[in-house]
Amino acid sequence: MARLPRISPVDVPIHLIQRGNNRQICFASEEDFSAYVGWLKEYSGKYKVDVHSWVMMSNHVHLLCTPRQAGSVSLMMQALGRRYVRYFNFEYQRSGTLWEGRFKSCLVQQDRYLLEVYRYIELNPVRAGMVMDPGEYRWSSYPVNGLGVASDLCTPHPEYLGLGIDPVERRNTYRALFAQEVEEPLLTEIRVNTNKGLAIGNDRFKEEMEKVTGRRVRAKKRGRPLGWRKKEM
């Protein structure tokens, strides 16, 4: 049975995760991280994908991006994944797969949820106990979004730009969002919906996405459908 293509409507933000196969290490050195970031920049530009937020951990990657052309996210990830695997296998004298199948992803409602996904992504190193402050971790977008480090990879989303009238005010407001961790229910919602290829947002957003894509983006209700007893009689 053919696999369904990833859902990534043009101009709708998408959160994605790319994991190492069996949670194996994908980045073993600073050079590895740098190579991946360089090719992410190359292919996001080639396939017209705006990258807003990211974090590269030792065995997985999170990205928050917006496609500007149909199918561009899948094309970007395919090209990036293949290029990086060739590099990694050559560098470490290995062969075979590196990634855990296809990337996982979910659509993200811009208002209310988008900045929460920014936080979820950039707080990964803190939750993992690697750093105390997200600004201490080099391979995430927090130094760009929160501290003003220059980056030609990052494209600020309008929701981010709306945090202030100038860069200083935006960064101050953004940093204030990190005073508290992402709440556990929202953490669970982001994780589950990303792994299942669904959507994060309110019912209206999900209904709209189902009309646009022709695919279900909401979790199925648990239990048997209404009227199942009558059908069995």
pLDDT in tens, 89-136: 999 999 888 998 889 999 999 988 999 999 999 999 999 999 999 999
Mean pLDDT across 153-173: 97
Using left for φ > 0, alpha for ψ between -120 and 50, and beta otherwise, residue 141 falls in: alpha
Query: Domain tally for the chain?
Result: 1
Evaluate whether residue 220 is within a structural domain. no
Q: Could you tell me the strand order of the sheet in which 14-19 lies?
A: 49-56, 60-67, 14-19, 104-108, 199-200
The domain in which residue 72 lies consists of: 14-208
Per the domain annotation, does 28 fall within a domain?
yes
Whether 55 is covered by a domain: the verdict is yes
Tell whether 214 is covered by a domain.
no
Question: What CA–CA distance (Å, rounded) separates 51 from 57?
Answer: 17
**What CATH number does the domain containing 103 carry?**
3.30.70.1290
Residue 64 included in any domain: yes
Residue 182 lies in a domain: yes
Q: What is the C-alpha separation between 122 and 120, in angstroms, rounded?
A: 6
The reported pLDDT for the residue numbered 3 is 54
Q: Is residue 147 part of a domain?
A: yes
Residue 120 lies in a domain: yes
Q: If pLDDT is split at 50, 70 and 90, which confidence band does 159 have?
A: very high
